[in-house]
Structure 1
Amino acid sequence: MTRAIMIQGAGSNVGKSMLVAGLARAFHRRGLSVAPFKPQNMSNNAAVTCDGGEIGRAQALQARAAGREPHTDMNPILLKPETDTGAQVIVQGQRYATLRARDYAQAKPQLLAPALESFFRLCATADLVLIEGAGSPAEINLRTGDIANMGFAAAAGLPVILVGDIDRGGVIAQIVGTQAVLPPCDAGRIRGFAVNKFRGDVRLFDEGVNEIEKRTGWPSLGVVPWFDQAWRLPAEDVIDIRSSAGGRFKIAVPRLSRIANFDDLDPLSAEPGISVEIVDPGHPLPGDADLVLIPGSKSTMGDLMHFRAQGWDIDLTAHVRRGGHVMGICGGYQMLGREISDPGGIEGPPGTVQGLGHLDVTTVMRPEKRLALTQATYVPTGDAVSGYEIHLGDTTGQDCARAWLSVDGRPEGAASPSGRVRGCYLHGLFGADAFRAAVLSEMGGHSDLDYAGSVETALDALADHLGEHMALTTLLEMSEQPKART
């Protein structure tokens, strides 16, 4: 019999994704078949799945923690913001529509059915399904048509654990206030609470726990201290990207306004000999950078304008003139070319814009999105590279004759005559240890990190951490067999 339980937050960014990953690893190690699930996610940091779709990268990490391959059923509704008021809507791994926020609110009731379909299909494969909410159920203005929190919990018959974030302060008000504003039918789904991100001696919050229990009637499942190894795990979203101080080799990464699929940075940030500097808008690209890495973008042409508005195009030209290295991945690759053409108006009004001009290539946007898990070879050394492609557009030009990757015999990428400027469509390539070591060595850096091993070690440490500070057996006992609402 499959059991399930939903982890919801008393606010946004309380650490739900990491808690689900740690719980998935902990229960997987107990011998249970565990599956993660998030009915609705909003992120431009996507992962390509084994069934040829895309899901939020947080669910891909949770699947890894559970010893599973990522599947589109784990995140059936994915919102990928394209503007401040609109997003591309992915349903069960494939593009459904691009909708403004108001239009999406009207479409949500139609999306509950595929979300439930994916959920119950996933339930058929697992002993325990751990469901992650989005934002907070306390946003009762969003309750009508909700498919992310209590609306989904009610539709699937799920018990809920509420998590508060003490690092921000006011955690008692977060949890008690959530109960106060919820309708009784929703509040009645909550079986207990946990407090996350505590710094210091957790016993100092004993009185706070007692106060929450007294005011809500919910039992505590634990106070979880700050997890110091969190930085070793792949970042979930753009707000989690941070500069990392390491060794003398410096990589500068401009923070694009629609940055996407930035998991390419995770292995580099984990390197002890590498310093990764995230350059915020309004700040120049550092003149002492060894490599400028331009990441992917959900809106390449818009982010190219953003890039120029910061003066980064001038900084990049100076960097190249000084003999610095440049790498563009996906959208960053397209920006490095001579021009980008969008005849069908996929990213906005139809037209053509001038690129940064550091690669002799041009890109034409196409309506068909390429989604693929990809095995490649690094041409200079023959090292194997595993990654994924998730992009619109075809890129051609003279510098493609210096392709530095080979995918099933097909050349991929482009390089300038000097070899110091490169681009490609393959995400995730820095996760390959041999490739990463070879490329960094060519640029004057060094690597001896087992990246995959470091992620596994961090997931095990997270499971141990939760095992020490949360009542996992009680949580498991609180899980129930899901039952669709009739």
Structure 2
Amino acid sequence: MTKAIMIQGAGSNVGKSILVAGLCRHFARQGLQVRPFKPQNMSNNAAVTPEGAEIGRAQALQAKAAGVAPHVDMNPVLLKPESEVGAQVILQGKRFATLKARDYATAKPQLLASVLESFHRLAEGVDLVVVEGAGSPAEINLRAGDIANMGFAEAADLPVVLVGDIDRGGVIAQLVGTQAVLPAQDARRIKAFLVNKFRGDPTLFADGQSAISQRTGWHDLGVLPWFDGAWKLPAEDILDLSSRAGGKIKVVVPKLPRLANFDDLDPLAQEPDVTVAIVPLDHALPGDATLVLLPGSKSTISDLEALRRSGWDIDVAAHLRRGGHVLGLCGGYQMLGQRIDDPLGIEGQGGTVPGLGLLDVTTRMVPEKQVVLTAAHHPASGTDVEGYEIHIGETTGPDRARGWLQMNGQSEGAASADGRILGTYLHGIFAADGFRRAFLNELGAASSDLQYDMTVEATLDALANHMAAHLDLEGLLACATDLPVSAR
């Protein structure tokens, strides 16, 4: 019989995603067949599954922790914000619609049916499903039609563990207050709690734990000290992006509003000779940059306009005059061209906008989205890479003749005549150790022995060890309910 437990937060960003990853790794090492599940995620940092579907990157990491390939059923609803009031809805891995918040609310009953379908399919034949909520159930104004927290827990009849974040303060109020505002039937689903992100001696919070237990009646799973290795795991959300001091090679990344698929930065941040500088809007790009990296974008045209408003087009031109390098990935690649044509208004009003004019290519937006895992070869270094494409748009032009990657027997990407400006649709290339070293060596970085994938695996092991040392994980497993999957 399959067991399942849902991890919900007393607030946003309490560490649910990383906790689920740690639980998946811990119980997988105990010999259980474990699967992660998140009914609804909101992120522009998507991952591509082997079947060519999109899910949240956090669920891909959790699948890795569980020792299995990512699957579309692990995150059946993915919301990808395109504006302040609207998002693209990915349903079971494929584009469903672009909806404003009010319209999305009316679609939730239909979405819940698909969410439950994915959940029950995922649960068949496995020992444990660890479910991650989104935001907080304390937002009771969102309870009607909810598919992300207590609404899903009720529909799937799941017990809940509530997580509080002591680092932001007020954790007793977070946890006890959540119970106080929840409808009684929802509050009864919470069986246990844990406190995350403690700095210092966790025994000093013993009285606080007792106070929470006495007021709620929940089982105390413990206090988890701050996990220093978290930065070595792929960032889930743009809010998790931060600069990382390192060595002399400075990779500068403009933090555009709709930044997407920025996992390319994670391996670079771990290189000892590389400093990754994330530059917020309306701040000048540093003049000592070695490489300006324009990552992917959920809304290329909108982000290109934001880039110009911040004066970053001028900064990039000055960077190139100083002999610097520029790399555009996916949406960043499209921005580097002469123009972007959007005759169907896929990204807004439609029409043509000028690009940065740094590569002699043009992009035409088309309705069909390219979502695929793929492999490529880098002839200049003789190294291979594995990555993924996730984009709309077709790019053509003379500089495509200098494609610097080989993919499926054809050249991929574009390059300027002097090779200092590069663009490609392929994400994930810096996870390949050989290519990353060769690329950085060309920029003047010292060689390193970083093995990125092995580092992620070792960090997941360390996370699982950390959680096992401080939390009552057997108590957590005891809270999980048996699912009568075979009877469905």
Give the TM-score taking structure 2 as reference length. 0.99
Q: Could you tell me which residue of structure 1 aligns to residue 47 of structure 2?
A: 47
Q: Secondary structure at the match of 1:381?
A: coil
Q: Could you tell me which residue of structure 2 aligns to residue 306 of structure 1?
A: 306
- Asked if structure 2 preserves the Cα contact closer than 8 Å seen for 1:156 and 1:483, the reply is no
- Asked if structure 2 preserves the Cα contact closer than 8 Å seen for 1:271 and 1:447, the reply is no
1:77-476 mapped onto 2 (5 Å cutoff): 77-448=77-448, 449-476=450-477
Q: Secondary structure at the match of 1:144?
A: coil
Cα distance between partner residues in 1 of 2:126 and 2:160 = 19
Cα distance between partner residues in 2 of 1:478 and 1:219 = 9
Q: Secondary structure at the match of 2:194?
A: strand
Gaps of 5+ in 1: none
Which AA in structure 2 matches 1:307? Answer: L
Which AA in structure 2 matches 1:51? Answer: E
Cα distance between partner residues in 2 of 1:55 and 1:29 = 24
Per-residue deviation, 1:48:
0.3
Q: Could you tell me which residue of structure 1 aligns to residue 6 of structure 2?
A: 6
Q: Secondary structure at the match of 1:315?
A: helix
Per-residue deviation, 1:381:
2.0
Which AA in structure 1 matches 2:165? Answer: D
Deviates more, 1:105-114 or 1:73-82: 105-114
- Asked if structure 2 preserves the Cα contact closer than 8 Å seen for 1:157 and 1:483, the reply is no
Per-residue deviation, 1:103:
0.4
Deviates more, 1:455-464 or 1:378-387: 378-387
1:9-20 mapped onto 2 (5 Å cutoff): 9-20=9-20
Per-residue deviation, 1:382:
2.2
Cα distance between partner residues in 1 of 2:356 and 2:447 = 30
Task: Map Cα deviations across residues 451-480 of structure 1 (whole Å, 9 max, x no partner).
Answer: 111111100000000000110111111111
- Asked if structure 2 preserves the Cα contact closer than 8 Å seen for 1:159 and 1:478, the reply is yes
Cα distance between partner residues in 1 of 2:206 and 2:280 = 40
- Asked if structure 2 preserves the Cα contact closer than 8 Å seen for 1:328 and 1:422, the reply is yes
Q: Secondary structure at the match of 1:73?
A: helix
- Structure 1 residues 421, 54: CA separation in 2 closer, same or farther (over 3 Å shift)? same
Cα distance between partner residues in 2 of 1:51 and 1:117 = 18
Which AA in structure 1 matches 2:460? Answer: L
- Asked if structure 1 preserves the Cα contact closer than 8 Å seen for 2:222 and 2:470, the reply is yes
Cα distance between partner residues in 1 of 2:263 and 2:399 = 26
Per-residue deviation, 1:51:
1.6
Per-residue deviation, 1:13:
0.3
Cα distance between partner residues in 2 of 1:266 and 1:433 = 12
Task: Map Cα deviations across residues 405-462 of structure 1 (whole Å, 9 max, x no partner).
Answer: 1111111000000000000000000000000001111111234211111111100000
Which AA in structure 1 matches 2:166? Answer: I
Cα distance between partner residues in 1 of 2:352 and 2:462 = 50
Cα distance between partner residues in 1 of 2:3 and 2:95 = 30
Per-residue deviation, 1:483:
5.7
Cα distance between partner residues in 1 of 2:319 and 2:409 = 33
Cα distance between partner residues in 1 of 2:410 and 2:474 = 51
Cα distance between partner residues in 2 of 1:100 and 1:474 = 41
Q: Could you tell me which residue of structure 1 aligns to residue 62 of structure 2?
A: 62
Task: Map Cα deviations across residues 174-217 of structure 1 (whole Å, 9 max, x no partner).
Answer: 00000001111111111100000000000100000000001001
Cα distance between partner residues in 1 of 2:410 and 2:186 = 54
Q: Secondary structure at the match of 1:473?
A: helix
Which AA in structure 2 matches 1:195? Answer: V
RMSD: 1.1
Which AA in structure 2 matches 1:433? Answer: D
Task: Map Cα deviations across residues 232-268 of structure 1 (whole Å, 9 max, x no partner).
Answer: 0000100000000001110000001100000000000
- What count of residue pairs does the alignment treat as equivalent? 486
Cα distance between partner residues in 2 of 1:272 and 1:469 = 31
Give the TM-score taking structure 1 as reference length. 0.99
- Asked if structure 1 preserves the Cα contact closer than 8 Å seen for 2:164 and 2:175, the reply is yes
Cα distance between partner residues in 2 of 1:415 and 1:435 = 17
Cα distance between partner residues in 2 of 1:447 and 1:215 = 56
Cα distance between partner residues in 1 of 2:80 and 2:381 = 36
Which AA in structure 1 matches 2:242? Answer: R
Which AA in structure 2 matches 1:459? Answer: L
Per-residue deviation, 1:482:
3.0
- Asked if structure 1 preserves the Cα contact closer than 8 Å seen for 2:284 and 2:312, the reply is yes
Gaps of 5+ in 2: none
- Asked if structure 1 preserves the Cα contact closer than 8 Å seen for 2:2 and 2:484, the reply is no
Which AA in structure 2 matches 1:170? Answer: G
Per-residue deviation, 1:34:
0.4
Q: Secondary structure at the match of 2:441?
A: helix
Identity %: 66
- Asked if structure 1 preserves the Cα contact closer than 8 Å seen for 2:2 and 2:124, the reply is yes
Which AA in structure 1 matches 2:130? Answer: L
Q: Secondary structure at the match of 1:481?
A: strand
Which AA in structure 1 matches 2:396? Answer: T
- Asked if structure 2 preserves the Cα contact closer than 8 Å seen for 1:436 and 1:447, the reply is no
Cα distance between partner residues in 2 of 1:329 and 1:143 = 39
Cα distance between partner residues in 2 of 1:384 and 1:476 = 42
Cα distance between partner residues in 1 of 2:366 and 2:125 = 37
Which AA in structure 1 matches 2:385? Answer: V
Which AA in structure 2 matches 1:406? Answer: Q
- Asked if structure 1 preserves the Cα contact closer than 8 Å seen for 2:334 and 2:362, the reply is yes
- Asked if structure 2 preserves the Cα contact closer than 8 Å seen for 1:7 and 1:133, the reply is yes
- Asked if structure 1 preserves the Cα contact closer than 8 Å seen for 2:254 and 2:294, the reply is yes
Q: Could you tell me which residue of structure 1 aligns to residue 481 of structure 2?
A: 480
- Asked if structure 2 preserves the Cα contact closer than 8 Å seen for 1:378 and 1:384, the reply is yes
Cα distance between partner residues in 2 of 1:482 and 1:240 = 34
